[in-house]
């Protein structure tokens, strides 16, 4: 149940902000939104699984201690270590599941989700030209902007079209056509307006007319870009790291100095290029062990809290998760300072939680 609650909360928070406007505006069907939610679930699982494991451990062992069941178990000769062993084994099994999700499934689903979301924004491109309403398109790659109006848009067949094209923020060209056809260029992420029998008024006061004219308008919102480092699988990250080591993304300038100094500067510059990739690699692997660290520290903390209330356990769990992520965020913020090896900071929360958890569990087992 805890897993479902955290999954639902994270899923709603991640998806509604991006998907709900598309659904309300008619740019996405319920089927497309359902598919997007399905692709987000593995990505959300990567965060919900450790959090749910920590919360469940705190609640179960807190209630176990508050009801004096731990005292009864000790009186029967059963140690806390024996009681906690199955839970710890389960957490190790979940670490393997987390590794699979973090390093392969979640990045793949995230890339597919981003692509589907981009398709939503342009799949029903007719919405970009609603009837009887002027629609503004922001500055294009060449600096031009468009305002397009059509009286009727029936399945891409346009009637009474008027286009205002602004070049360099001052020069205006007005194009009027009694009819036209709307085409979606998915490869180039453009709307192509094929106008018939048009009249054009140029900035210099000149005008001309013609039988056909195609106006390309870029769709800035959509498009499938290249996969970012944060959305790469473990194998893709390793391949990217190897590629950057062989051929850095930009020339390295060694600067003045002798041969040894230049070599050292080149090595440092190369490290700066590859450090964000190393951070992501270590983050994926380290975060896979979060379930074990959270469980190890959650068992003794739940016993020490000694409360039946659910809200206390949830509060402690969220606090510990916040501390865990804060350390990782600090490490990521130092990605441009490879000299400090920030990728190793990805392992610090695990080491801290496991060390503190082991000590607290040992003390709780001895009744200290």
Per-residue pLDDT tens over the stretch 54-68: 888 888 888 888 888
Residue that finishes a domain, picked among 159, 192, 218: 218
Between vectors from CA 78 to CA 62 and to CA 66, what angle results, nearest 5°? 20
In a domain, 30, yes or no: yes
Residues 118 and 241 in one domain: yes
Residues 150 and 295 in one domain: no
Q: Kindly report the pTM of this predicted structure.
A: 0.62
Instruction: Decide if pLDDT at 262 tops 50.
Output: no
State how far the Cα of 130 lies from the Cα of 215, in Å rounded to an integer: 17
| 17 or 158, which is more confident | 158
Give percent above pLDDT 70 in the chain.
74
Indicate whether 149 and 214 sit together in one domain: yes
Same domain for 79 and 163, yes or no, is: no
* Residue 225 in domain: no
| Residue 48 structural domain | 2-122+230-365
Are 208 and 304 within one domain? Answer: no
pLDDT band at 247; cut points 50, 70, 90: low
Tell whether 85 is covered by a domain.
yes
Residue 16's alpha-carbon distances to 2, 33, 35, in angstroms, are: 21, 10, 13
Among 218, 241, 258, the domain boundary falls at 218
For the cut 70, the answer to whether the pLDDT of residue 126 exceeds it is: no
Residues 198, 306 within the same domain:
no
Query: Smallest Cα–Cα separation from 352: which of 274, 296, 310, 312?
Result: 296
Across 11-33, average pLDDT: 66
d(CA 206, CA 204): 5
**Residue at a domain's end among 218, 251, 283:** 218
Q: What is the DSSP string of 170-227?
A: TEEEEEEEEEEEEEEETTTTEEEEEEEEEEEE-TTS-EEEEEEEEEEEE-SS----PP
231: pLDDT strictly greater than 50: yes
Asked if 111 and 137 sit in the same domain, the reply is: no
Same domain membership, residue 135 and residue 191: yes
- State residue 309's pLDDT score: 58
What is the count of structural domains for the chain? 2
166: Cβ–Cβ under 8 A, 6 or more apart, which residues?
Answer: 144, 145, 146, 147, 172, 173
223 assigned to some structural domain: no
């Amino acid at each position: 149940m805890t897993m479902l609650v955290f999954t639902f909360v994270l899923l709603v928070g991640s998806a509604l902000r991006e998907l709900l406007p598309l659904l309300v505006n008619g740019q996405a069907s319920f089927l497309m939104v359902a598919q997007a939610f399905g692709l987000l679930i593995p990505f959300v699982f990567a965060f919900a699984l450790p959090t749910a494991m920590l919360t469940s451990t705190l609640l179960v062992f807190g209630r176990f201690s508050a009801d004096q069941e731990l005292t009864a178990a000790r009186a029967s000769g059963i140690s806390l270590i024996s009681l906690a062993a199955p839970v710890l084994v389960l957490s190790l099994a979940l670490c393997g599941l987390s590794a699979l999700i973090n390093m392969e499934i979640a990045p793949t689903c995230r890339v597919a989700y981003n692509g589907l979301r981009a398709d939503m924004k342009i799949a029903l491109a007719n919405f970009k030209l609603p009837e009887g309403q002027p629609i503004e398109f922001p500055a294009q790659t060449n600096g031009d902007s468009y305002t397009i109006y059509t009286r009727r848009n029936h399945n891409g067949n346009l009637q009474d079209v008027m286009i205002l094209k602004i070049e360099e923020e001052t020069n205006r060209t007005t194009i009027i056509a009694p009819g036209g056809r709307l085409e979606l260029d998915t490869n180039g992420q453009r709307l192509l307006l094929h106008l018939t029998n048009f009249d054009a008024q140029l900035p210099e006061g000149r005008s001309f007319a013609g039988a056909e004219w195609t106006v390309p308008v870029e769709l800035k919102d959509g498009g499938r870009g290249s996969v970012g480092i944060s959305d790469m699988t473990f194998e893709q990250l390793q391949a990217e790291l190897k590629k950057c080591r062989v051929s850095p993304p930009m020339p390295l300038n060694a600067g003045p100095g002798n041969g040894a100094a230049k070599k050292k500067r080149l090595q440092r510059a190369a490290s700066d290029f590859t450090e964000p990739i190393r951070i992501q690699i270590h983050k994926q692997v380290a975060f896979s062990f979060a379930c074990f660290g959270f469980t190890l520290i959650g068992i003794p903390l739940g016993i020490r809290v000694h409360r039946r209330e659910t809200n206390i356990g949830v509060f402690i769990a969220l606090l510990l998760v916040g501390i865990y992520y804060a350390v990782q965020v600090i490490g990521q913020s130092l990605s441009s300072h490879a000299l400090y090896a920030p990728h190793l900071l990805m392992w610090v929360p695990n080491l801290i939680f496991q060390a503190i958890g082991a000590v607290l569990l040992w003390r709780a087992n001895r009744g200290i």
